[in-house]
């Protein structure tokens, strides 16, 4: 497995552990629709949360969350709408980003709730 893939898996595991510690109910991991993937789908109380996990070994090129660009947001929003149709969604939603810097010296995790909004 390539180093960046290994780092991504480590990040997803750390994000999952963080959400479980916060008592989120994990519904899906790596849910796919076409070319789009939603890293984690969870419930925070009665809120359906779509979570993008970005992991980097350094922030030399910017913080991990900066790599969730407009195209990625559109894919996430589109995929989320399909997921909601499949489950007959009828409650509040939110898009979060979990940004992780992890290397041999440190691991930093930031959970940004309401990181972006559909249609904005």
Residue 25 above 90 pLDDT? yes
pLDDT band, very low/low/confident/very high, at 120 (cuts 50, 70, 90): very low
Share of the chain above pLDDT 90, in %: 73
pLDDT of residue 35: 81
Give the DSSP per-residue string, 30-90: EEEETTEEEEEEEEETTEEEEEEEEEES--TTS-GGGGS-HHHHHHHHHHHHHHHHHTT--
CB atoms within 10 A of CB 93: 16
Topology, domain 3-116? Trna Endonuclease; Chain: A, domain 1 (3.40.1350)
Query: Which pTM does this prediction carry?
Result: 0.91
Domain spans of the chain, in order of start = 3-116
Strands laid side by side in the 93-102 sheet: 25-33, 36-44, 47-56, 93-102, 107-116
- Please list, in sequence order, all residues whose beta carbon lies within 8 angstroms of the beta carbon of residue 48, skipping any fewer than 6 positions away: 41, 42, 84, 89, 91, 92, 93, 94
Give 107-119 pLDDT, tens digit per residue: 999 999 999 988 6
Residue 82 above 80 pLDDT? yes
């Amino acid at each position: 497995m390539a180093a960046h893939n290994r780092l991504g898996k480590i990040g997803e595991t750390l994000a999952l552990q963080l959400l479980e510690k916060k008592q989120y109910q994990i519904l899906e991991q790596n849910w796919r629709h076409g070319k789009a993937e939603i890293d984690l789908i969870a419930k925070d109380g009665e809120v359906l949360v779509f979570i993008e996990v970005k992991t980097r070994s350094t922030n030399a090129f910017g913080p991990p969350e900066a790599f969730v660009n407009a195209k990625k947001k559109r894919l996430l929003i589109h995929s989320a709408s399909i997921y909601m149709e499949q489950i007959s969604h009828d409650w509040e939603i939110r898009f979060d980003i979990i940004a992780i810097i992890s290397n041999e010296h440190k691991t930093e995790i930031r959970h940004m709730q309401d990181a972006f909004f559909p249609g904005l």
